[in-house]
Structure formats: C-alpha cells, structure tokens
Structure 1
Amino acid sequence: MSSQIFHVTATFEAPVYATERTERVIEAIDTLAPEATVETQSGDERAPGTVVARTHSLERLSERFHEQAILDSARTTMLDGLTPETNTVTFRLKKQAAYADVVNFAVGDPDELGDITVTITVSEGDPAAYVRQLAPPTEDGVPVDDE
C-alpha cells in the first residue's frame, strides 16, 4: 500500500431526543472515534439536541471494519458517499449498534432515534485513496494492496 499522506477531519453528528441520554449518544460515538473532541447542543420537546464530535483520526473505525470483516461493504458504502467536488465522504451509522461497539451502516430512512452522520473531509490527499486505506480491497476476505 502506498505511503500517501492524508489530512482529514471527520465529523460525527447525531441527534439526541428527549427519550435518550446524551451520555449514551456520546458513548456510541466514542466507541468509533475515541480521540474525538465532543460538543453538545441541548434540545427541547420540539427539537432534538445534537452531539457533534470531530477528529483527525479514524483508526478505531478502520479497526472495526477489519475486526467485523466488512472491508468491502464499508469501502463501497463510503465511496458511494464520496463527493469529489468537495473532497468529502458522507455516510450514516446506526446509533444503537455503535453503542454496542458495532459498525452498522444505515440505509434508507433514518432510524426512529436518528443515525450518526459521519462526514470525512480530506483536505490533503485523494479522498478515494483515503477510503481504500480505511477499508482496503480484499481477496478471499484478506486485505490486498490495490496499487
């Protein structure tokens, strides 16, 4: 694999509804990005609060892709969310699964309690190459160098 250098900022954003505890939503994000800086915004009965976490490392998320053997589906999902004009990759994850330290991509309509929206902005390097670094191609389930 190439030794390309990337500079990324990843933002994890999740709603916090009145029936949820903010701490649990923070813990859900923390399982995937333990080094993230977290901010919270309070909500009320009409609108959810929000947890926003930012990090420059997605090492733990990549580890989960490897451990769960979901590299190909993770890469495909992230590349589907790639917007080349803005060098961003956007995808959604299930909050409840993240709380259990499991990566489960959200598809279709958001979950009743909302999903975690992840936006990765690559300010240095090729976003598609960064995605391939997080979730490399596999052959018979084993990561391979795609260079």
Structure 2
Amino acid sequence: MSEDTSEPGEAIYRVDVEITAPVFDTEVTDRVRDAVANIVPEADLEERHGEIYGRAHSLEHLSELLHRHEILDTARSEFFTNRDGNSFTFALKKQPALEERATFAVGEPDELGEIDIRVTVDEPSLEDYVDHVAPPTEDGKPVES
C-alpha cells in the first residue's frame, strides 16, 4: 500500500506521458534525443527503429517553459482542441526544442517531423491537470485559483 506523502491541500497528479519523435536519415539521433529531453527531461528515453520513444509521469519542465515564454493560452488551446476523453495530444517542433523552446506544430507538418506527445490523465481530471500545466490567464498572466 502506498503512502500519500503530499502536503495537505496539495494535488496529486497521476498522468502517463508518451513521447515519439521520428529520426530521419538526415538527422543525428542524439540531437533528436536532446530536443525531446529539453522539453521533457523527466522522460525515460530509448531509441527505437527510426524514432526516439519516451515515457514520463510529469510535464513540470514543459509547464515552466510555457510560463517562461508566455504561451499558456496557446498551450491550453492545443490541449483542449486535441482532447479525446481523458487524454490529449499535441506536437512540438524539433528545432526550437533543441534551444529549450516549446513551439507548437500547427498547420503544415514540419519536414523533419515533430515531437508528438500524448498525455493520459488518471487523477484528478484532465481539466485540473491542464490548469496545473498551463493555467488560465488574464491579461497574459496566470490566474491563481
């Protein structure tokens, strides 16, 4: 039986994050791995045939990047637009990820492929987790609940 070690009032998040990024013949595998690790350093990464694959249970670093680069509204829009039940998906561009920037891939697919991320939220709810990673904003600043 696991013990709850959270502080009183602190939310416990149970999420599964699955990451895939293609590695094309023209790319250096370690650079693709670095791009993924710059966005989700919490992930356990492995090289599979033609791709980097990873799993994690947190998007804390991505949340910091979203706050730092002030793209919370964009993130929320992407997360909710690509929702399917208790999961959501989104894609980030590889090149900016090498520079530790989260740039959402929207519109035409990038010629080098994208970092595809699928998040499944078991607890508490998808909405609560999105609020945690990319809180609602007012005048561009996060609104504390």
Counterparts of 1:1-147 in structure 2 under 5 Å?
Answer: 3-42=10-49, 49-84=50-85, 87-146=86-145
- Secondary structure at the counterpart of residue 104 of structure 1: coil
Once the two structures are TM-superposed, the CA of residue 115 in structure 1 deviates from its matched residue by 0.5
TM-score (norm 2): 0.89
Residues 44-69 of structure 1 deviation map (CA, whole Å, 9 limit, x = unaligned):
xxxxx010111111110000000001
Q: Is the 8 A contact 1:82 1:128 kept in 2?
A: no
Q: Is the 8 A contact 1:62 1:134 kept in 2?
A: yes
- Secondary structure at the counterpart of residue 31 of structure 1: helix
Q: Is the 8 A contact 1:7 1:125 kept in 2?
A: yes
- Give the distance between the partners of 2:139 and 2:63, measured in 1 at CA: 19
TM-score (norm 1): 0.88
- Give the distance between the partners of 2:47 and 2:106, measured in 1 at CA: 25
Q: CA RMSD in A?
A: 1.3
Residues 5-63 of structure 1 deviation map (CA, whole Å, 9 limit, x = unaligned):
22001111100001001100000011111121001113xxxxxx010111111110000
- Give the distance between the partners of 2:101 and 2:122, measured in 1 at CA: 28
Once the two structures are TM-superposed, the CA of residue 124 in structure 1 deviates from its matched residue by 2.0
- Give the distance between the partners of 1:82 and 1:24, measured in 2 at CA: 29
Once the two structures are TM-superposed, the CA of residue 143 in structure 1 deviates from its matched residue by 0.8
- Give the distance between the partners of 1:41 and 1:142, measured in 2 at CA: 40
- Give the distance between the partners of 2:42 and 2:131, measured in 1 at CA: 21
Q: After TM superposition, which residue ranges in structure 1, 4 or more long, deviate above 4 angstroms?
A: none
Structure 2 unmatched runs, 5+:
1-8
Q: Report how many residues are paired.
A: 137
Once the two structures are TM-superposed, the CA of residue 145 in structure 1 deviates from its matched residue by 2.8
- Give the distance between the partners of 2:121 and 2:67, measured in 1 at CA: 21
Structure 1 unmatched runs, 5+:
43-48
Residues 91-125 of structure 1 deviation map (CA, whole Å, 9 limit, x = unaligned):
11001111111110001232111001010011222
Between the aligned residues of both structures, percent identity stands at: 45
